[in-house]
Amino acid sequence: MDIGGDILVAGVLVEISHQSVDKIFDYFIPSSILSDIQVGVRVVVPFGKMTLEGFVLEIKNHKDTEAELKEIIEVVDRDVVLTEELLSLGKEIQKTTIATLISCYQVMLPKALKAKNGKKIGIRYDTYYQLNSSFDSSIKLTPVQNKIIDSVRDKGEVLRKELVDISSSAVSTLVKKGVLVEEKREHYRLQNMIYREEKKKLTDDQEHVVKEVINHPNRTFLLYGVTGSGKTEVYMEIIDYYLSLGKTSIVLVPEISLTPQMVMRFQSRFGEKIAALHSGLSDGEKYDEWRRIYRGEVSIVIGARSAIFAPLTNIGVIIVDEEHSDSYKQSDPSPRYQAKDIAIWRSHYHQCSVVLGSATPSLESMARAQKGVYSFLSLPNRVNGKKLPPVKIVDMNQVMKQNRGYFSQELLSGIEKRLEKSEQVILLLNRRGYSSFVTCKNCGFTFKCPNCDITLTYHKSSNTLRCHYCGYGEKVFSKCPECGEASLNNLGVGTQKIEEELMKVFPSSRILRMDYDTTSRKGMHEKMITAFQNHEYDILLGTQMVAKGLDFSNVTLVGVINADTSLNIPDFRSGENTFSLLSQVAGRSGRSERDGEVVIQTFNPEHYAIRYAAGHDYFSFYQEEMKIRRQLKYPPYYYLCNIRISGRDATYLFDEALKIKRSLERYLENVIILGPSVATIFKMNNIYRYHILLKYKDSKNIYPIFLKIIDHYQKNAKIKIDIDFNPSQIM
């Protein structure tokens, strides 16, 4: 279109996530689709020899009428997909994570709305039929057609699937004759169950927290609350207040296993105003929930990390439950964003509050609270007035000397006592599978993944050895492939092995194993949690997914099979993660009237993280860990950036990693540069990996150098550079 010598063009960001094309390309807007073009919609455009989807980021007049611009082929969306807020947020994520802009927009959207080629996820419809009040009653009808009319007349309207054993042709004929009116209505795939629950009276501590939040809007609060202190009730009270003002809310939870229970509690209070967004939903369900949110049909969004991008308007509060969890940080793929940072960014946009809640706040959050960056709030007591459960530490070095297996006498006696009283038990072992690895006693051969620098884990139920990183698997044979001897031995222990041992010791008990292997099928988290809640099982055995947020009134014993699993991980956060995991799982015990108890089995009984967890002493742990962080120059005293250099040629990679380090040393001042060193898992999926770790206090000079490094290597297919700011773990 030519307007006064100018032509109207759209600036489009295409779907290819590569630095070389991470920019806006101008396209001519044909007059036939001009009325449909808006900033934030998806369009189909020609790109070289390809046809791609992209997002319209700007509409402008183009003065160069001689430029040979290609035309937009079609508009994909009737409505804007990327709102003004999300467009701004994407640019902020790009700036702070050094990711491509298209990847920053893609991460915000359900699969159905991402710019891509391939099969589209459709909208489901239900077909309803009503009588046409003005139809000609003299029309001759068959008995079947009269039956249909009677059914519709009795009910007012009929859903097509309610017309059982009636052919489609009979219904279609009535529509054609004008007897019936057909109407298609959108059908949401996710059907919410509504449970009604009485609103609970708040304690004085809870009342104080609620008043502080609603009386001081536009702040970020750190809410420290011991397990069982009623943080969820506080969240709901705050949300209720903002609902009364016509405002919306987002609630983030770290684990998919927490989402069904949290959604159920919120539905009992707020009914159908809830939408859920998490990885346990199908692509179609996510699409439906996103549209409900976009249309303003819900006021509260609950979900895992990606729910922070929910297209809500007029947000009153954003709540991040279990804020210490590393699952709020996206490690792979790019963009490597931190959901808590996104929450705070959105709070500035909406001028709303953020509540970060945890029984074991991250050191970074607590340090900010102590400096006054966050406002500190506390729930130091359980709502039922009971003390936190006593914790017994068992030295497994002594148990193993007596060759008594995986269970101490203290834990066995505790389980037996609870089973006799029809009470329930939770057991934690943060390692799935049957055994950690299989080795030959004769020659020392160990089964390792051919793609990754890691031993294979034995899964007895399928009699396979599997890699938990790339998914490689192979059958287990009776003889060693190296020496041919029948001398294979299972070493280490996983949840499958513990389940087998429990069945031997307590043959009449009902045991439920909850780990990645048993919950990978859709809906299994919710089914298992509900079954245990209904006391269909006596013992819940699981990985860390059983440690956080779950509330079972009949659980009076929590046992930790091996507290050292997370402690032995070579990462500076291992002490913090161990303390948090033990504290969280200990809090599952004794949450109602019955007294609870906790047994922690460990080979490191004197480690400060285990001792302070046993004493429910967060602040002593915080002080001790902060001393170590200060000495070693780790967060929160320094920021971290991890540069990962990966590729298939290990020698070439190391040489290039050295060049990168020298460049960093040449251009950066007051930055500690460590490495290059091999990653904890040097080879993963046939890709070798080196790391360079930076510690710094001021980031203003770092970003330009990183951009130059990325630009230098972007056309080099032999090497891949990934930059992760403030990584949750360095593996």
Q: Which of 607, 629, 651 is the last residue of a domain?
A: 629
Q: How many CA atoms lie within 13 A of 275 on its CB side?
A: 29
Q: Is the Cα torsion angle 546, 549, 551, 554 positive or negative in sign?
A: positive
pLDDT at 623 over 90: yes
Using left for φ > 0, alpha for ψ between -120 and 50, and beta otherwise, residue 391 falls in beta
Compute how many other C-beta atoms are within 10 angstroms of the C-beta atom of residue 197.
10
| Model pTM score | 0.88
Give the whole-angstrom CA distance, residue 411 versus residue 132: 71
pLDDT at 117 over 60: no
Range of the domain at 301: 204-379
Residues 635-679: pLDDT tens digits? 999 999 999 999 999 999 999 999 999 999 999 999 999 999 998
Residues paired with 641 in a beta bridge = 694, 725
Please report which confidence band the pLDDT of residue 381 belongs to, taking 50, 70 and 90 as the band edges: very high
- Report yes or no on 634 lying in a domain: no
**pLDDT value at residue 193:** 58
- Report yes or no on 459 lying in a domain: no
Do 528 and 397 fall within a single domain?
A: yes
Give the whole-angstrom CA distance, residue 537 versus residue 554: 11
CATH classification at residue 137:
1.10.10.10
Decide if 427 contacts 539 (C-beta within 8 A). Answer: yes
- Report yes or no on 645 lying in a domain: yes
Rounded to whole angstroms, the maximal C-alpha distance in the chain is 94
Do 526 and 396 fall within a single domain?
A: yes
Q: Which of 113, 141, 171 is the last residue of a domain?
A: 113
**pLDDT value at residue 179:** 85
Give how many domains the chain has, as a whole number: 5
Residues 624-636: pLDDT tens digits? 999 999 999 999 9
pLDDT at 66 over 60: no
Give the whole-angstrom CA distance, residue 600 versus residue 512: 20
**Dihedrals φ, ψ of 159, to 5°?**
-80, 140
Do 241 and 354 fall within a single domain?
A: yes
Do 291 and 365 fall within a single domain?
A: yes
Q: Which of 65, 85, 113 is the last residue of a domain?
A: 113
pLDDT at 43 over 90: yes
Segment 679-704 mean pLDDT: 91
The more confidently predicted of residues 491 and 559 is 559
Using left for φ > 0, alpha for ψ between -120 and 50, and beta otherwise, residue 622 falls in alpha
Do 357 and 234 fall within a single domain?
A: yes
Give the whole-angstrom CA distance, residue 429 versus residue 449: 23
* Residue spans of beta strands (DSSP E) within 402-481: 424-428, 437-440, 457-459, 464-466, 473-475
Residue 665 CA, chain-centre distance (Å), reads 36
- Report yes or no on 437 lying in a domain: no
Over its C-alpha atoms, the chain yields an Rg (Å, rounded) of 29
Please report which confidence band the pLDDT of residue 4 belongs to, taking 50, 70 and 90 as the band edges: very low
pLDDT at 257 over 90: no
CATH classification at residue 659:
3.30.70.600
Do 273 and 342 fall within a single domain?
A: yes
Q: Which two tokens stand for residue 235?
A: 């969240």
Residues 506-552: pLDDT tens digits? 999 999 999 888 888 888 888 898 899 999 999 999 988 888 777 88
**pLDDT value at residue 519:** 83
Do 297 and 152 fall within a single domain?
A: no
What single letter denotes the amino acid at residue 688? Y
pLDDT at 405 over 70: yes
Residues whose CB falls within 8 Å of the CB of residue 184, separated by 6 or more in sequence, listed in order: 125, 126, 127, 128
Decide if 390 contacts 598 (C-beta within 8 A). Answer: yes
CATH classification at residue 77:
3.40.1440.60
Query: Which among 210, 190, 213 has a CA at the least distance from the CA of 201?
Result: 210
**pLDDT value at residue 6:** 67
Please report which confidence band the pLDDT of residue 255 belongs to, taking 50, 70 and 90 as the band edges: confident
Do 616 and 539 fall within a single domain?
A: yes
**pLDDT value at residue 1:** 43
CATH classification at residue 318:
3.40.50.300
- Report yes or no on 500 lying in a domain: yes
pLDDT at 97 over 90: yes
pLDDT at 119 over 70: no
Average pLDDT, whole number, for the chain? 89
Burial of 525 (0-12, 13-18, 19+ CB in 10 A): buried
**pLDDT value at residue 710:** 92
**pLDDT value at residue 436:** 66
- Which own/partner pairs from 30-39 qualify as long-range (CB within 8 Å, at least 24 positions apart)? 30/71, 30/72, 31/1, 33/72, 33/74, 33/75, 34/1, 34/8, 36/75, 36/78, 37/10, 37/72, 37/75, 38/80, 39/80, 39/84, 39/87
- Report yes or no on 462 lying in a domain: no
Residues paired with 377 in a beta bridge = 223
Do 165 and 218 fall within a single domain?
A: no
The more confidently predicted of residues 689 and 68 is 689
- Report yes or no on 608 lying in a domain: yes
Using left for φ > 0, alpha for ψ between -120 and 50, and beta otherwise, residue 54 falls in beta
Do 174 and 214 fall within a single domain?
A: no
Please report which confidence band the pLDDT of residue 192 belongs to, taking 50, 70 and 90 as the band edges: low
Do 425 and 375 fall within a single domain?
A: no
Do 696 and 665 fall within a single domain?
A: yes
Please report which confidence band the pLDDT of residue 132 belongs to, taking 50, 70 and 90 as the band edges: confident
Segment 558-581 mean pLDDT: 91
Between the alpha carbon of residue 97 and those of residues 643, 646, 726, the distances in Å are 12, 18, 10
DSSP, res 90: H
- Report yes or no on 63 lying in a domain: yes
pLDDT at 376 over 50: yes
Query: Which among 397, 577, 399, 565 has a CA at the least distance from the CA of 492?
Result: 565
Query: Which among 347, 277, 278 has a CA at the least distance from the CA of 318?
Result: 347
Q: Which two tokens stand for residue 191?
A: 């059907």
